[in-house]
Structure 1
């Protein structure tokens, strides 16, 4: 028998019971595009290549202590030599190489970035407004823990840790979605009880002065 019921949260609040109350699949929540495919390992070769690439960057900077400017210059030199050799060899063969002017960044990439930045800003203002006190305190605690961890780890290590989390946690969550949602619902329920108890035993007992009515002139 399962250790939880799938409709427990739906009957109590009318929500779907999924993480953050979403009613769509995790793939659709993450945008449904190539970024979601990478985070959820739908394109395993590309996801593994990106994760391996970030791991190599972390290894060069943190372990080998490679200088950033030197690395950029050496990588640029290497890429230039590869392009030069490729196009030089193509003159003596029948290789059909793309035109330089066709190798550009698509505008859709920037539109996606702008949408994500606007979404993050809107969520930041919504959480900061205090409409949902639980989310507000959770974000404050998470930021405080991150700031404490920043005193003991370098920025590169923290960035690499975030990349590893982005490359593994969404796929693991999709694999064990029901179990994780059950634990989140239970934790949210316990946190709500604690907040109500704190409000009734502490906040409501704080004396407040009476508001004086303004005299009409």
Structure 2
């Protein structure tokens, strides 16, 4: 997926502002850097792009010039080698429109996002000062998706994150603190039940000897009593 053009139609401080990245070059790099002074709208443009892909956020802070009902973002995305024009409005359903203004399924875009959520996409692909700084810390601490992504890539461990996720899921299935449904918790509960059952029927050796002596004594007395009655 490639962003061909971003239309900030009514969004944040912008009205009918377009950022055109041009067609994809046949060869060579395809890198574009959006730069400018503070408060010129770089973060607004980035947020607008994310809102185009995932929907305008429920409590968007970019309605200070245009009301929620008037907010609108457009753009041209290159998907599968073809250009597709979309418009995004601020509403809970049918917010994604095609070039004719008709609602289209979110799958028209989400099918090309490899299952990434907004947060995951922003972390991996949306580079601004804050994201770069946070990503640098994640790399140094080897935590977070961005840190794992770059760490495993540089270390030649392409599948390490996936393997780690599988192992973490397996560990959670076996044991999780204060969880009652894990395999270990269920086995521990069953062990306690069996111990209680064993304790209920278990008899100490000393008690057994005493009871056995009482049984033998009672048997002898019974036999004597039967013998005396027979005389």
TM (norm. structure 1) is: 0.25
Q: Which is greater in Rg? A: 2
More helix by share: 1
More strand by share: 2
TM (norm. structure 2) is: 0.24
Q: Which has the higher contact order (CA 8 A, sep 6+)?
A: 1
